[in-house]
Amino acid sequence: MANDKPADTAVYEKLVQALLPWYRKNARPLPWRRDREPYHVWLSEIMLQQTRVEAVRGYYERFLTALPTIRDLAEAPETQLFKLWEGLGYYSRVRNLQKAAKKIMETGGKFPNTYDEIRALPGIGPYTAGAVSSICFERPRAAVDGNVLRITARLTGSEAPIDLPEVKRGVTEALERVYPAGHCGEFTQALMELGQAVCTPKSPKCEACPCAAFCRANAAGNAEKLPVRLPKREKRLEQKTVFLLTCAGKTAIEKRHGKGLLAGMWQLPNVPGHLNANEALQAAEKLGAKPVALEKELHKTHIFTHIRWEMVGYAIECREESGAFVWATPQQLAQEYALPTAFRIFLDAAQD
């Protein structure tokens, strides 16, 4: 395998020299860059996992308006947390945010300032610990994610699969050898900016890149072919039948079990497998919903990290409210109960 090791220190030193002045001129004015308050940076980094920058802006502002301090986060009721997070997905992230906030409050209320202490908080991995410790506390710790691995693979022309732990470890060590004293946070954010705005997965803007002159992929004209990844695992397919049960303007919802995917979240009632319309009405009857009319049949797909849900949904008007469910008004669904996107898409589709 060609070029399967990180480039030598000289290339990384050139990266520092090129990136800092470029970042000072080109950094986007993102809301979490207004200050280096650890709570703000930490929250933004957790929100940005698996989520686009533009999608996070509004969530970030709303979250901090509702919960402006770590104490507020630690004391917030779970229903409020989930509602603030609704639509962002990966709800374990917000659960771990609160667990970490509680731990911080239990140990004096001050956010820890070393990499190891930050890393020890619930839900914080090496990337987030590196980001917070470098941006907020000027620690020379790298925040290496897919963006940074893509940048370094192209710079060095590396064909080593970036999924391999040893590749990530090598890149981390190489970066930390050249982290610029006094500009650690700036360098971390510059790498983030380059990966998000210029050295993108598809159609990288090599002509606008400050590293173009010493990038091996640019010289070889194969930037879009890098980085190399291991073959992806097939997502497990699960079929579900979802019931959108309504009665006098209210919708039936229930809580999921406390373990596994979307644990403890509110959901629309559902069963495994695909039922036809008659079977769905019979199933609704067994659930105690007293169906009156089948109003709409809906087909939706939702993709999680390792699972693909193929869902058929039935909008059914009911004669009376079954005691097996919570019956929520449209206002409660909008303001109080947080439904994962996999179920909310049925609410939205039923209104079309």
Residue 75: active-site member: no
Determine the pLDDT at residue 139. Answer: 97
- pLDDT at residue 58 is higher than 70: yes
pTM of the model: 0.77
Instruction: Quote the pLDDT of residue 296.
Output: 87
CA distance 304 to 89: 9
pLDDT, position 338: 87
How far apart are the C-alpha atoms of 178 and 158, rounded to whole Å? Answer: 19
Task: Characterize the bridge pairing of strands 307-318 and 236-247.
Answer: parallel
Q: Predicted confidence band at 66 (pLDDT cuts at 50, 70, 90)?
A: very high
Nearest to 36 by CA among 111, 125, 101: 111
Structure tokens at 56: 């996070």
**Local confidence band at 1 (pLDDT 50, 70, 90 cut-offs):** very low
Give residue for tokens 């589709």: 349
CA distance 273 to 310: 9
Indicate the helix (H) or strand (E) that contains 252. Answer: strand 250-255
pLDDT at residue number 7:
44
Question: What pLDDT, on a 0 to 100 scale, did the predictor assign at position 293?
Answer: 86
The model's confidence at residue 295, banded by pLDDT at 50, 70 and 90, is confident
Mean pLDDT across the chain? 92
How confident is the model at residue 334, as a pLDDT? Answer: 86
Which of the residues 45, 86, 186, 321 is marked catalytic? 45
Q: What sign does the CA torsion over 118, 114, 73, 36 have?
A: negative
Q: Which domains does the chain have, with CATH numbers?
A: 9-225 (1.10.340.30), 236-351 (3.90.79.10)
Residue 2 above 70 pLDDT? Answer: no
Pick from 341, 9, 3, 321: nearest CA to 159: 3
Mean pLDDT of 132-152: 96
pLDDT (tens digit per residue) in 231-288: 888 889 999 999 999 999 999 999 988 777 888 889 999 999 999 999 999 999 988 8
Per-residue model confidence (pLDDT) at position 352: 61
pLDDT at 331 over 50: yes
**Bigger pLDDT: 292 vs 136:** 136
Mean pLDDT of 49-54: 86
